Structure 1
Amino acid sequence: MREDWERRRDAYCTGILDNQLNLLAEFLGDNEWLIGDQLSYIDFTAYEVLDWFRVFAPISVDKQPIIGRYLCRFENLGPIAAYRKSSKYKSWPMTGPRAKWGSK
């Protein structure tokens, strides 16, 4: 079962995710944030999804240095950095207990 899951994950990464991350990196370009120089709620949603992908498919995310820098910029925002260092922050689980990935 695990081999099947890994095969399906790898197929998703090479067939869909890699291309989508490439498009996102092109869109982001030299901008600090998704809509330019201003942080917006869109960046919070995008960060959460990209953080999941960084754990789910690190090789795919690592292929895009622009996205890596974007994630670091977000994580280095004062309140975000403080929260991530606090005892309230939990990096895992990422999903609910019924999910096939990210819950245990």
Structure 2
Amino acid sequence: MRMLLADQGQSWKEEVVTKETWLQGPLKASCLPKFQDGDLALYQSDAFLRHLGHTLGLYGKDQREAALVDVVNDGVEDLRCKYATLIYTNYEAGKKEYVKALPEHLKPFETLLSQNQGGQAFIVGDQISFADYNLLDLLLIHQVLAPGCLDSLPLLSAYVARLSARPKLKAFLASPEHVNRPINGNGKQ
């Protein structure tokens, strides 16, 4: 979401609540994270992305593309769940096997790219979507986990480079707000 907002030239205010503050105060009864857009309060990261997709015109150019954006985003979230399971429950014992299987988990995204302007555009259509930002985030995280994970996937590798070079996104990715933010709450990468 931060990459999407930065790349789209949107400003935002982020309020980080520490676990200790959350456990001790009235926030304990609430669901976090929370996204506030005017008087609209949303919970759940995918809801944030979909809302921003609708609001900022990042949900495909028509119903067909919107459905494909949803498919991609759901695929990203499926892999993100596998990643989270590894990071938070089975890191030491499971990392080697996870990294070994990673190219097969990423191959469907490579295939989708190849079917869209030969992999030279976005994941769906000819304009960026919220799913592109979500996929980019997941790919960047995986490059930290396994630096060579995109070596056998040239279209995904070029896609990461191409999106990361977008001027506003490049600036955000180099900013202390991004660079100094831990990837995972438990410090594992």
TM-score w.r.t. the length of structure 1 is 0.77
Which structure has the highest strand share of the two? 2
What is residue 135 of structure 2 aligned with on the other side? 46
Cα distance in 1 for partners of 2:170, 2:146 equals: 23
Cα distance in 2 for partners of 1:56, 1:44 equals: 19
Cα distance in 2 for partners of 1:91, 1:65 equals: 28
Cα distance in 2 for partners of 1:77, 1:35 equals: 17
Cα distance in 2 for partners of 1:91, 1:58 equals: 19
Query: What is the percent sequence identity of the aligned residues?
Result: 22
Relative contact order, CA 8 A, sep 6+: which one is greater?
A: 2
Cα distance in 2 for partners of 1:33, 1:71 equals: 10
What is residue 188 of structure 2 aligned with on the other side? 101
Aligned match for 1:73, one of 152, 155, 162: 162
Cα distance in 1 for partners of 2:187, 2:176 equals: 26
Alignment partner of 1:60 is 2:145: no
Q: Which contiguous aligned blocks of 4+ residues in structure 1 show a shift greater than 4 angstroms?
A: none
Aligned match for 1:11, one of 93, 97, 108: 97
May I ask how many residue pairs the two structures share in their alignment? Answer: 95
Gaps of 5+ in 1: none
Aligned match for 2:105, one of 20, 28, 35: 20
Task: Report which of the two structures shows the higher radius of gyration computed on alpha carbons.
Answer: 2
Cα distance in 2 for partners of 1:10, 1:91 equals: 26
TM-score w.r.t. the length of structure 2 is 0.45
| Aligned-partner SS, 1:61 | coil
Gaps of 5+ in 2: 1-90
- CA shift at 1:54, angstroms? 0.8
> After the TM superposition, which of the residue ranges 29-38 and 70-79 deviates more from structure 2?
29-38
Cα distance in 2 for partners of 1:68, 1:91 equals: 24
